[in-house]
Structure 1
Amino acid sequence: MVTRVEEALAWGESVDKLLQCKKGQMVFGEFLKTEYSEENILFWLACEQYKKVPSISEMRSTANRIYSEFVQVDAPRQINIDCGTREDITESVSHPTRASFDRAQRLIYRLMAKDSYPRFLKSDIYRTLLKQSERR
């Protein structure tokens, strides 16, 4: 994966700059795999796509997929959210709105920003990428 040094350096400025970039999302996802928390970025990205779903019927099916993959108890990629947020989503998934996952997405964003992102900046994955970018 070819990454410009400016692009890789920008990821170090904020978690937002990292998440705005497709390559940044991929690299951060690879890092999260090493920490066994890849579900966080996958959920965050699924929520971003969910907000763009054009029709109500597609919104229902997408909401159900996100719920079963990330939210329900014992989901294959269950995210770490409080039981109140989980209950709110469970209640709203049969009649989803654009905001159905907003609270959970904010919680996961904060978790990534405060916990995973600082470790990512110190990680071998990011440091190696910076070195490779600088050599080009």
Structure 2
Amino acid sequence: MAPVDIVSWAESLDQLLQCKTGLLVFEEYLRSEYSEENLLFYLDCEAFRSLPPESDRTAAARRIYREFVAIGAPRQININCVTRAEIRASLSDPGPDCFSSAQRRVHSLMAQDSYPRFLKSPVYQALRLTATST
């Protein structure tokens, strides 16, 4: 892990998410807080959007819906009922962007809440200190 990478994680949530190591550290931090569902949903949406047209999008969309979107889902994300209903309605023929609205909301929540907490966390502060002292 290059010192520059660690320092760049503080530039933006997107910068952190683009770094494989940063992503792993952030996910582990969120897991320690029992709040990794937003990140996992975000990553699943990215993978879903990249599915080739011939893949079974319907099965993938339903899995994401059951795991993150449905009321009472094991890793239920915090989205409004209108967005939840729109996703549910699109499950019969889901396009690559059927989760986009919810994904933007989750990204915004992470940027405003869990990402700033991560930057203040002892984990990140220790990594940053190590990176800047070398």
Q: What is the TM-score of this pair, normalised by structure 1?
A: 0.92
Deviation of the 1:56 alpha carbon: 4.7
C-alpha change, 1:73 and 1:56, in structure 2 (3 Å) is farther
For the 8 Å contact 2:67–2:75, the answer to whether it is kept is yes
Distance in 2 separating the partners of 1:56 and 1:79: 28
Indicate the residue corresponding to 2:87 in structure 1.
89
Deviation of the 1:35 alpha carbon: 2.4
Q: What is the TM-score of this pair, normalised by structure 2?
A: 0.93
Structure 1 residue ranges, 4+ long, deviating more than 4 angstroms after superposition: none
Distance in 2 separating the partners of 1:90 and 1:117: 29
- Mapping 1:106-117, distance limit 5 Å: 106-117=104-115
Identity %: 49
Cα deviation, 1:67-95, whole Å, max 9, x if unaligned, reads 11111111111111111111111111111
Query: Which stretch shows the higher mean deviation, 71-80 or 104-113?
Result: 71-80
Indicate the residue corresponding to 2:26 in structure 1.
28
Indicate the residue corresponding to 1:64 in structure 2.
62
Indicate the residue corresponding to 2:42 in structure 1.
44
Q: 2:13 aligns with which of 1, 12, 15?
A: 15
What is the aligned residue count? 134
SS in 1 for 2:64: helix
Deviation of the 1:57 alpha carbon: 4.4
User: What stretches of structure 2 of length at least 5 have no aligned partner?
Assistant: none
User: What stretches of structure 1 of length at least 5 have no aligned partner?
Assistant: none
